[in-house]
């Protein structure tokens, strides 16, 4: 089996591309939502508990979110 025949079997052409793009964007938005929730919980928990480690984890999550763009 050649690489081109494998690609032809796994990618059906232009009709599948819009669906793949929609799926990719959904995954991206899910990831961003997860990072927002993670940051909010970590920051709130860190402030309530007075934990520098949790606050730092929350700040790290915010930085990750900003770098994801």
Q: What is the 3-state secondary structure (H, E, C) of the chain?
A: CCHHHHHHHHCCCCCCHHHHHHHHHHHHHHHHHHHHHHHHHHHHHHHHHCCHHHHHHHHHHHHHHHHHC
- Is the entire prediction scored with pTM above 0.85? no
Q: What is residue 68's predicted lDDT score, i.e. its pLDDT?
A: 80
Q: What is residue 2's predicted lDDT score, i.e. its pLDDT?
A: 57
Q: Is the pLDDT of residue 62 over 90?
A: yes
What's the pLDDT band for 9 if we cut at 50, 70, 90?
A: low
Q: Residue 40 in contact with residue 59, Cβ under 8 Å? A: no
Domain ranges within the chain, ordered by starting residue:
19-68
**Per residue in 32-57, pLDDT tens?**
999 999 999 999 999 999 999 999 99
- For residues 21-40, give the mean pLDDT: 93
């Amino acid at each position: 089996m050649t690489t081109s025949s494998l690609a032809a079997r796994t990618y059906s052409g232009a009709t599948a591309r819009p669906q793949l793009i929609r799926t990719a964007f959904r995954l991206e938005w899910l990831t961003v939502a997860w990072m927002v929730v993670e940051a909010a919980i970590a920051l709130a928990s860190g402030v309530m508990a007075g934990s520098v480690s949790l606050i730092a984890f929350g700040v790290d999550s915010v930085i990750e979110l900003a770098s994801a763009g």
